[in-house]
Amino acid sequence: MKAREILAVLLLGVSGLTKADEGMWMLNKIDEQTAQAMKELGLELTPRELYNPDGVSLKDAVVDFGDFCSGVVVSPKGLVFTNHHCGYGAIQKLSTPEDDILKNGFVARSYEEERPAEGLFVRFLQRTEECSSRVMRALDEVYRTHPQTPTAVLDRQYTDSICRVVEREYSKANPGLDCQVKSYYGGNAFYVSIYKVYRDVRLVFTATETLGKFGGDTDNWMWPRQTCDFSVFRIYADKDGEPAEYSKDNVPLKAKRYARVCLDGFRPGDYCMTVGYPGSTSRYLSSYGINERVNGTNISMIDVRGKKQDVWKKWMDSDRAIAIKYASKFASSSNYWKNSIGMNKAVKELNVIGQKQQLEQDIRRWYGKDQGLTARFGTMFDELEKAYANRYEAIRAYGFFSETFLRGIEIRRVAATAASKPTNMDSTETELAREQAKAFFKDYDARVDEETMAVLLDNYRKQVKPEYLPSIYKDIDKRFKGDTKAYARDLFSHTVMTDISCVDKFIADSTLRDTDPLFKYNESVRDMQTTLYNKIRDDRQTIDYNEHLLTQAILEREQETAHYSDANFSLRLSYGFIQDYTAGSQHFDYFTPSQSLLDKAAKQGEIEDYKLEQDIISLIQQKDFGRYADPSDGDLHLCFLSNNDITGGNSGSPMFNGKGELIGLAFDGNWEAMSGDITFNPDLQRCIGVDIRFVLYLIDKWGHADRLIREMGL
């Protein structure tokens, strides 16, 4: 069967209804059945009011925030709400020990005081179009002209390049817009998303770090929560409202659509939907793939990041300047470190692998009844089992390698950058290298990295077989008698690559490539990376292709049931309702009251993550919540739960009620369902959001930002 014929079969059942609380649905694929289900739950908007590529709709209020989070426009003048942890990197970059806005918070009292966040951008989706037939025709031509080439290699080798060609075609037809072609349903369908990108984004408001990160690692991925996880930015444009690089002449964007905030509150069972950019899920992944992720990738992340973070935290606790430099990096590292711990726990307790194995047995019986289906799918499970087993040791080693040398020890990146640049002191490429070095060293401390290197090199040796040790270990054993601390001290003492002058020093002295110990280290790491890549390459191609076939089989076997595609950081909608949950013998309410914040703050002497400034404590104790109080009890509700389906990237996603009004910002999931990236558990899986009334209360009563309150029409 040709690629486009398979596609026609698969797409018969991907646009309808499954469960109200499960699914990351494309806004341009909402059919009548799904629309009716949302209406019955309480949605008052039509599909056209959610997504209208030819007019104005709710999608025009939602932004891709920096290509790593989501956000929402909340005023006619381009004001954007997102999570504090999404704005964290920008806030950290704007902080210094003398002007520590990360710690103290920041309120711009005028447009002039709003601070440019260098490098930050937002994207507005203009429209999404299916281009599957265009890609599939090209793949059919490849199959026709290369009949002897294994399909697994073809799929890997050509699909990405075909997508890039299609992107260029769309970019030519849409000048000034960003066009992205992505695969959906495991490479069984393709869509192009067309964006308008604004690159002048400025910080307007952030609360203190203690509020924006309240609970820290202690509460991360947990419920109940009291974190006021929000920050406020503004989009600027040229005088015509078009995207422009930063300029003092730019003006606040006149928003095409913005979300009105709602102060009315909500109850269990009330309609709730998130609209945002979920990053990545693997819900079609085979049981073999889940086993590899749990026992290979996650184990290495848990082990190495735990040790790295121990070193970093020791230095951060002793020096505020280092704490500022490493704040964003530590938060990013620890977030998925704890995610991996929770995922492994949930996969085991919920028997996720066993459930997937049962599904695979059902699929075997299904295709076994049909000769044509057996011809297509009959070998895929055997191929998957064999390929995953073949690469298990290498993929596990690569996990430890990546976490140690690519994400752990930082200084290698300086050598890699310098080594790839030309020797011309005045070239554009060299100037770019200088800028990269400047950005790197702003958030770097060589003392921290030297200790990290010693700890991680020692740990890596203990975790992998000798064949996976980079050649530098021979030097460590011979010259330093296996002492990684002595090796790290020697390397950092003799390399010139420890400050922003390194690029110019490297260009001025061509012998450094042969004499500087960091370059020898970098070459050793690069060589082992190539070795590991080659060990897993062939099996990866087999795995990619057969996982692609497995997705086909699932979709084709269940044609009468709707299936959403795995998340791929494209705009999605999840709908459901406000809902509490019970785990084991413990019941969790759907919201957290103001007193719960004070109760945790009272423990700050024993739990550092519960530290809170006295002025904030006093403010909450006054209980002067005014119009931000919930009408049911007169209290300030802090955070809340819905059964919306989210994952990483959804952070900052607006949470809307049935009228399309903003009631909160999604920022986390709950511990009991940390296997959510692999499978959805409707009884346990919840989306945690910060109540928009908590956000507005802080903006108003703590920040005294009256101009922002007025700007939002309040």
Structure confidence at residue 139 (pLDDT) = 83
Residue 583 has a CB neighbour count (10 Å cut-off) of 15
Rounded Cα gap, residues 399 and 303, in angstroms = 10
Helices and strands, counts by H and E, the chain? 27, 20
Rounded Cα gap, residues 133 and 139, in angstroms = 10
Residues in Cβ contact with 547 at an 8 Å cutoff, skipping those fewer than 6 apart = 186, 284, 285, 286, 289, 384
Residues with active-site annotation: 85, 229, 651
Instruction: With CA atoms as reference, report the closest residue to 660 among 36, 28, 145, 39.
Output: 39
- Contact at 8 Å (CB) between 221 and 674? yes
Q: How buried is residue 587: exposed, middle or buried, by Cβ count under 10 Å (0-12/13-18/19+)?
A: exposed
Structure confidence at residue 506 (pLDDT) = 81
Instruction: With CA atoms as reference, report the closest residue to 255 among 655, 665, 569, 711.
Output: 711
Q: Which residue numbers in the chain have pLDDT < 70? A: 1-21, 148-154, 156, 419-426
DSSP code per residue over 25-54: EEGGG--HHHHHHHHHHT--S-HHHH--TT
Q: Is 189 helix (H, G, I), strand (E, B) or coil?
A: strand
Rounded Cα gap, residues 120 and 87, in angstroms = 9
Instruction: With CA atoms as reference, report the closest residue to 550 among 186, 132, 292, 157.
Output: 186
- Contact at 8 Å (CB) between 473 and 485? no
- Contact at 8 Å (CB) between 86 and 71? yes
Structure confidence at residue 423 (pLDDT) = 62
Q: Where are the alpha helices (DSSP H) in 464-581?
A: 472-480, 484-494, 502-508, 512-515, 517-557
Token representation of residue 7 = 């596609």
**Hey, where are the domains in the chain?**
287-552
Rounded Cα gap, residues 280 and 261, in angstroms = 29
Q: Is 184 helix (H, G, I), strand (E, B) or coil?
A: strand
- Contact at 8 Å (CB) between 708 and 234? no
Token representation of residue 198 = 């604004």
Structure confidence at residue 12 (pLDDT) = 44
Instruction: With CA atoms as reference, report the closest residue to 572 among 10, 24, 19, 132.
Output: 24
pTM of the model: 0.93
Token representation of residue 607 = 């739990």
What DSSP element (H or E) covers 287? helix 287-292
Structure confidence at residue 290 (pLDDT) = 97
Phi, psi of 429 (to 5 degrees): -65, -40
Structure confidence at residue 159 (pLDDT) = 87
Structure confidence at residue 411 (pLDDT) = 94
Cα radius of gyration rounded to whole Å, the chain:
26
Instruction: With CA atoms as reference, report the closest residue to 582 among 687, 690, 686, 689.
Output: 686
Structure confidence at residue 17 (pLDDT) = 40
What DSSP element (H or E) covers 130? strand 122-130
Instruction: With CA atoms as reference, report the closest residue to 254 among 419, 79, 132.
Output: 79
Residues in Cβ contact with 64 at an 8 Å cutoff, skipping those fewer than 6 apart = 70, 71, 122, 123, 124, 125, 195, 277, 569, 571
Structure confidence at residue 15 (pLDDT) = 43
Residues in Cβ contact with 322 at an 8 Å cutoff, skipping those fewer than 6 apart = 315, 316, 445, 448
